[in-house]
């Protein structure tokens, strides 16, 4: 309940409006949408993602983390999970010692996730916003990227990695070991020492959000 109230106040302040109905309009939704939010005491995951994308789309760096991925949070509703959205996305493979993480838990319906991404296991999942066009046309700038820390290293899979103190979203090639962008304008990154490459999570899907600012 308190989280709902604080989020509503944050949204109203950001859009400089006085009601939840006006917030819904600013997000390109119908005013009546706010009635459902108020009754459930919960903003929909789709609306929260829209809001966060508006707030943080100006970021010009890729960040994130994952101490909190060790356990995707549960709610009282067995069909719903809370997935952390990393707002400032300070990404580091050293999750446990990172105190600079800004995250917001977003409620998702498990059936929705399964339908969108064929996701069966709901553990160690996170969301970040894609910055840059290095993975176009597969992942476009501004899309919400869903990742899972599953300890895999699949040939040709798309991963969030840390390499030479940089956070990258790239395809993984093993022989020879290198990182590849889907946008061919970006050069291949050859990995000289495998121990310098740290895999943070595997990209399992991207979530496109359309919005308009009124």
Q: What is the pLDDT of residues 186-201, one digit of tens each?
A: 999 999 888 889 888 8
Q: Residue 95 is part of which domain span?
A: 67-207
Q: Is residue 212 part of a domain?
A: no
- Residues 134-147: tens digit of each pLDDT: 999 999 888 888 89
- Domain match, 35 and 113 both: no
Report helix, strand or coil for 14.
helix
Contact between 179 and 171 (Cβ < 8 Å): yes
Mean pLDDT of the 104-113 span: 80
What is the number of domains present in the chain?
Answer: 2
Model's pTM, two decimal places?
0.61
Q: Is residue 176 part of a domain?
A: yes
Angle in degrees, CA 5, 8, 51, rounded to 5: 140
């Amino acid at each position: 309940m308190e989280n709902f109230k604080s989020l509503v106040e944050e949204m109203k302040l950001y859009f400089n409006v006085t009601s939840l109905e006006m917030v819904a309009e600013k997000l390109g939704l119908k005013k009546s949408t706010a009635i459902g939010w108020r009754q459930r005491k919960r903003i929909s995951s789709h609306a929260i993602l829209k809001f966060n994308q508006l707030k943080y789309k100006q970021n010009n760096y890729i960040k994130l983390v994952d101490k909190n991925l060790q356990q995707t949070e549960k709610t009282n509703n067995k069909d719903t999970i809370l997935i952390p959205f990393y707002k400032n996305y300070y990404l580091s493979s050293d999750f446990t010692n990172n105190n600079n993480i800004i995250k917001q838990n977003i409620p998702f319906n498990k059936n929705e996730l399964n339908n969108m991404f064929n996701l069966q296991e709901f553990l160690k999942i996170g969301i970040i916003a894609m910055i840059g066009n290095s993975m176009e046309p597969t992942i476009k700038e501004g899309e919400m990227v869903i990742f899972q820390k599953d300890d895999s290293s699949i040939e040709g899979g798309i991963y969030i990695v840390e390499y030479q103190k940089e956070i990258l979203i790239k395809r993984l090639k093993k022989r020879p070991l290198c990182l590849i962008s889907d946008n061919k304008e970006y050069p291949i990154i050859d990995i000289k020492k495998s121990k310098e490459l740290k895999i943070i999570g595997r990209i399992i899907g991207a979530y496109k959000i359309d919005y308009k600012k009124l």
